[in-house]
Each structure stands twice: as C-alpha cells, then as structure tokens.
Amino acid sequence: LPPSAEAETPPAVSGGDLRLSGKGKKLRKPRTIYSSVQLQALNQRFQQTQYLALPERAELAAQLGLTQTQVKIWFQNKRSKYKKILKQG
C-alpha cells in the first residue's frame, strides 16, 4: 500500500471504541432482550445465590446461550434492584 492511500482512510476503530460521525460519541450495543426461558433460569439461580463464581457464571452462560458478560451484568443489576426494594421496605 502506498503511504498516501493509508492516510486517506482513517481507521473505523480508534482506541478500541467505535465512534459516531466524528463527534467522539461511543456507539453502544443494543440492549439485550432476554427470552422468558433465560429470565426464568436467571431468576431461579438468583434465588439460590446472589453471587456466581466464575465457573458457575461460565456454565450458566453456556447453558442459556448468553455471554459471561451478559450474565454478570444481569446479576449486578438484579442485586442492585433487590437492595433498592429492600431499602424501600
């Protein structure tokens, strides 16, 4: 590749973040929509334990066809909601 061709096309990804139209805004992934089966399994597991060890999280994610990050964040959000409800009475 000639150096001029390289300079003409800036990389789509800068610093690992996708950017929108040069405004520096990060693109967000669309919100995950969990199926009723997934939610049922996640809620059931949450009733057993509010915290998952890494192998448990990996296993649950694999069973439900989710990423480990999705399971982790779901549990974080659920704990947060649970504590908020407890605080309210």
pLDDT band, very low/low/confident/very high, at 88 (cuts 50, 70, 90): very high
φ, ψ at 25 (rounded to 5°): -80, 135
pLDDT at 79 over 80: yes
- Taking only the tens place, the pLDDT of each residue in 22-35 is 677 889 889 999 99
Domains of the chain: 36-88 (1.10.10.60)
Block residue for tokens 């334990």: 49
Q: What is the chain's mean pLDDT, rounded? A: 84
Contact predicate 61/70, CB 8 Å:
yes
- pLDDT at residue 37 above 60? yes
Distance in angstroms (rounded) separating the CA atoms of residues 35 and 64? 9
> What is the DSSP secondary structure assignment for residue 2, as one 8-state letter?
-
Instruction: Give the C-alpha distances (Å, rounded to integers) separating 49 from 1, 14, 52, 62.
Output: 56, 40, 7, 18
| Entry pTM | 0.69
CB–CB of 69/77 below 8 Å?
no
